[in-house]
């Protein structure tokens, strides 16, 4: 079935460690997004990419990095520079012609110990 796959679903890391969250889509969508969600809060945009080999910072990009080497993949690295990395991370994608209709993955929950 077509969709967006995020992995891992749950991840624990020690302070000072970098961690990479995977996001893969087989929907042939052009655009991909990473959001962060904290308890009781809405979603905040970290990075987004409209096409391969191009990406833009969202509202809270500090401490994060991304790459878009392939259309179907948009991994997010949470670096040690991110002061409060514990959160629920959501990846999304959409085709260029469907503007606001984002398709979301099931999320990755990161806990820093």
Measured between alpha carbons, how far is 78 from 64 in angstroms, rounded to an integer? 5
Structure tokens at 100: 């606001």
Distance of CA 63 to CAs 38, 47, 57, Å?
Answer: 16, 11, 11
Verify binding: residue 54, other proteins, rule CB under 8 A: no
Q: Considering beta carbons, is residue 82 or 93 the nearer one to other proteins?
A: 93
> For 53, which DSSP code?
T
Verify binding: residue 38, other proteins, rule CB under 8 A: no
Query: Per CB under 8 A, which region of 30-38, 60-68, 69-77, 79-87 contacts other proteins?
Result: 30-38
Verify binding: residue 105, other proteins, rule CB under 8 A: yes
Structure tokens at 8: 């891992």
SS3 of 40, please?
A: coil
User: Which residue in the set 14, 16, 101, 113 belongs to the binding site for other proteins (CB under 8 A)?
Assistant: 101
Question: Which residues contact other proteins (rule: CB under 8 A)?
Answer: 4, 31, 33, 35, 40-45, 48, 50, 56, 58-59, 88, 90, 92, 99-107, 109
């Amino acid at each position: 079935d077509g969709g967006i796959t995020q992995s891992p679903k749950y991840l624990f890391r020690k302070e000072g460690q970098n961690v990479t969250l995977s996001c893969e889509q087989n929907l042939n969508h052009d655009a991909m997004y990473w959001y962060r969600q904290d308890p009781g809060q809405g979603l905040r945009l970290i990075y987004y990419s409209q096409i391969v080999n191009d990406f833009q910072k969202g509202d809270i990009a500090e401490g994060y990095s991304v790459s878009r080497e392939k259309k179907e993949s948009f991994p997010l690295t949470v670096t040690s520079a991110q002061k409060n990395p514990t959160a629920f991370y959501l990846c999304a994608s959409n085709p260029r012609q469907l503007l606001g209709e984002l398709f979301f993955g099931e999320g990755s929950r990161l806990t820093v110990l």
